[in-house]
Amino acid sequence: MRVTSVEKSEPLHLRKTWMNDLSHGFTFLESLNLAHGDLRPENVLLDRNRLKLSDFDSTAEIGSEFEACIAPYGRLLCSEGGAYQGTAGFLGPRTEQFALGSLFYLINYGFEVYGDQCFGDDPSGKEHGPVVLDLLQKMIFPELNREPEIDSIIRRCWYGEYKTVAELAMDTEKLCCSIGDVSKGKIESAKCSAAISASDFSLQRKFCRDLVNSGIPKTLSLRNPRDLRLPMKRRHICWDLLRE
């Protein structure tokens, strides 16, 4: 199966807003020395016209082993010396921005990386995935030929050119808040999702750090929820606190 055409795309200002929502969400995690570790469409929620991150089971400190690595949102990495290790490397700006680049591609092109191709002769499509994985390993990416500013950000993400996710967020913020791209009636919906005061941001970060230090996120990520030894209602309250 492959995508043969995209009949309609979301409005440009909304796509830019979504990119900004995601990059700032990752930046907030980065400020806590955390990486999401499993960005893919299934782990992104649409709340009216805004995107929010979800599913933090794979979230870990920056520098931890990258375990999720699902193409096209992850690729196996080499060591600093260039030797192939056969692992996804360690969580950090490099892994996070690669995943964001592939999600930005989906948002703006209407299909996943190489979703408009059908590699292999097997009707079941079993050959397609391994071919895509191999192409990503060789840093061979689809042609980018839509919006130059957006394509530039996607390309930089794929090649790991941002030193931090915060640096990437600066680019998406400029992209999102560009007056020339939105009409006056749409300015409000295109405002940057990180437009909160420094004091509010500091309080949110302190609250999240306290949660991390208390071990609550690690406990909540247990594979068996019953290990929490909490009534189901209290478990939901804990998850709601984390999402807030």
- 3-state SS, 97-140, equals HHHHHHHHHHHHHCCCCCCCCCCCCCCCCCCHHHHHHHHHHCCC
In a domain, 1, yes or no: no
pLDDT of residue 229: 55
Residues 109 and 166 in one domain: yes
Same domain for 171 and 68, yes or no, is: yes
Q: Are 83 and 186 in the same domain?
A: yes
pLDDT < 70: residue spans in the chain: 77-88, 123-125, 178-205, 211, 216-244
Q: Give me the pLDDT at residue 178, please.
A: 65
- Residue in this structure with the two tokens 């984390």, named with its chain if needed: 242
66 within some domain: yes
Domain holding 85, by residue range, is 12-190
Residue 7 lies in a domain: no
Residue 230 domain-assigned (yes or no):
yes
Q: Are residues 213 and 101 in the same domain?
A: no
- Tell me the two tokens of residue 49: 């016209």
Q: What is the pLDDT of residue 27?
A: 94
Residues 110 and 4: their CA atoms lie apart, in Å, by 11
Question: Quick one: DSSP state of residue 93?
Answer: H
Domain termination site, one of 190, 211, 235: 190
CA angle, corner 115, sides to 110 and 116, nearest 5? 85
pLDDT score recorded for residue 100: 97
Overall size of the chain counted in residues: 244
Please report the beta strands in the chain, taking only residues with DSSP state E, as ranges in sequence order: 34-35, 44-47, 50-53, 60-61, 77-78, 84-87
Say whether both 121 and 177 belong to one domain. yes
Does residue 204 sit in the same domain as residue 147?
Answer: no
Domain boundary among 150, 167, 190: 190
What total of structural domains would you count in the chain?
Answer: 2
Residue 221: what pLDDT?
55
Query: Among candidates 45, 142, 42, 136, which has minimal Cα distance to 98?
Result: 136
Q: How far apart are alpha carbons 190 and 180 in whole angstroms?
A: 12
Same domain, 200 and 184: no
Nearby residues of 66 by Cβ (< 8 Å), 6 or more positions away: 37, 74, 77, 87, 88, 89, 90, 91, 95
Q: Are residues 73 and 40 in contact, defined by beta-carbon separation less than 8 angstroms?
A: yes
Cα 170–Cα 173–Cα 179 angle in degrees, nearest 5: 135
Rounded distance, CA 17 to CA 163, Å?
A: 22
Q: Residue 176 belongs to a domain with what CATH number?
A: 1.10.510.10
Same domain, 35 and 133: yes
Whether 210 and 178 map to the same domain: the answer is: no
Inter-residue contact 150 to 20 (CB < 8 Å): no
In a domain, 3, yes or no: no
